[in-house]
Amino acid sequence: MDSGSDFSGINEAKFDMGSIYDRPDPRAYFSTLQELDYAIPAKAKPLFQKLISRLRCQRGQEEVCVLDLGCSYGVNAALLKHDLSMDELYDHWTQEELARATREEVVEMGQQFFSELEEPEDLKVIGIDQAENAVAFAEEIGLVDEGLPIDLERETLPVDVRDEIVPVDLMISTGCVGYVTEKSFERLMQPLTERRPAWIANFVLRMFPFDGIEKALGRWGYRTEKLDGRYFKQRRFVSAEEQEQVVEQLRSQDVDPTGLEAEGQFVAEFYLSRPEAGARKLPLRQLLAA
Ligand SMILES: C[S@@+](CC[C@H](N)C(=O)[O-])C[C@H]1O[C@@H](n2cnc3c(N)ncnc32)[C@H](O)[C@@H]1O
């Protein structure tokens, strides 16, 4: 029997960022990642926006419902709902004034900052993350409308949140596949396909094979397309050691790092999974060009 993907060996090549994922507020997350030029949510934003506008058109609805797997402190939600750049987000969460603030003050300043921005995009965002504090913070600030602190690698989707997932139009992830495998996706597919099958858009580091997830989604009648020839910089390596380990890991998987990871950065690729018929009718490149 197929026991599913196990990314634990591959993850050994990567510096462990676990200590910044679940702090009571996002200051350490943003200051650490800013130093490493963490940029994948910004790189992903125009593609997500394109998909949201296509779905809005196709489904004839104003509000689009997005599920962000591995939502952390609501990073993608902030960029998409408020049309912010990653630099603006870094500037807010790492500003001098917040350095000695209590969590309560950080929350207040966050709420004020986001409420003063232009009218937000008509999006509902549901966020799932195993990091309870991060999800709670994203919800308190109002970046995610619903925050679900769940680890779908270890538990099934709680019955009482199933109905929240049914209206989702688009499921997204940045920087999360590798921590999660097809197990998390499989546990979401029943509600995601119940009414109008959601589109599933993932930015995935090249070191994590996507075939396990592709196969699992295929069992639900989904076709996955990779945006060939497009590479998205995720972040700089923490150290020469991390780079060496990742480059070696990629070579062992027959993935050529020349000009990409060999230049000092993690690189992600984009995968879109949609119900077979629609994906055949309008392939990814055409969908994005339309
Ligand atoms: C690199 S961060 C990316 C966060 C956010 N998407 C972004 O791009 O800024 C990885 C996230 O995956 C989350 N994560 C790790 N394991 C997870 C799991 N089993 N289920 C859900 N989220 C998980 C972490 O808590 C963390 O928030």
Distance, CA of 72 to CA of 143 (rounded, Å): 11
Residue 60 identity (one-letter amino acid):
G
Let me know if 104 is exposed, middle or buried by CB neighbors in 10 A (0-12, 13-18, 19+): exposed
User: Where are any strands of DSSP class E within 135-184?
Assistant: 146-149, 170-174
Q: Per DSSP, what are the bridge partners of residue 14? A: none
Of all atoms in ligand 1, which is nearest to the CA of residue 173?
Answer: 6
Best residue among 29, 72, 233, 266 to mutate for probing ligand 1, ranked by most atoms within 8 Å of CB:
72
Tens digit of each residue's pLDDT (9 = 90 or more) over 106-147: 999 999 999 999 878 899 999 999 999 999 999 999 999 999
**Packed helices 75-82 and 40-59: angle between N→C axes, nearest 10 degrees:** 60
Residue 2 confidence (pLDDT) above 70:
no
Residue 45 identity (one-letter amino acid):
K
Best residue among 23, 67, 129 to mutate for probing ligand 1, ranked by most atoms within 8 Å of CB:
129
Tens digit of each residue's pLDDT (9 = 90 or more) over 149-190: 999 999 999 999 999 999 999 999 999 999 999 999 999 999
pTM: 0.97
Report the chain's mean pLDDT, rounded to a whole number: 96
For each of the domains in the chain, give its residue range(s) and CATH number, in order of start: 8-289 (3.40.50.150)
Q: How many other C-beta atoms can be found within 10 angstroms of the C-beta atom of residue 207?
A: 23
Tens digit of each residue's pLDDT (9 = 90 or more) over 24-46: 999 999 999 999 999 999 999 99
Tens digit of each residue's pLDDT (9 = 90 or more) over 225-250: 999 999 999 999 999 999 999 999 99
Location of structure tokens 């990779």: 226
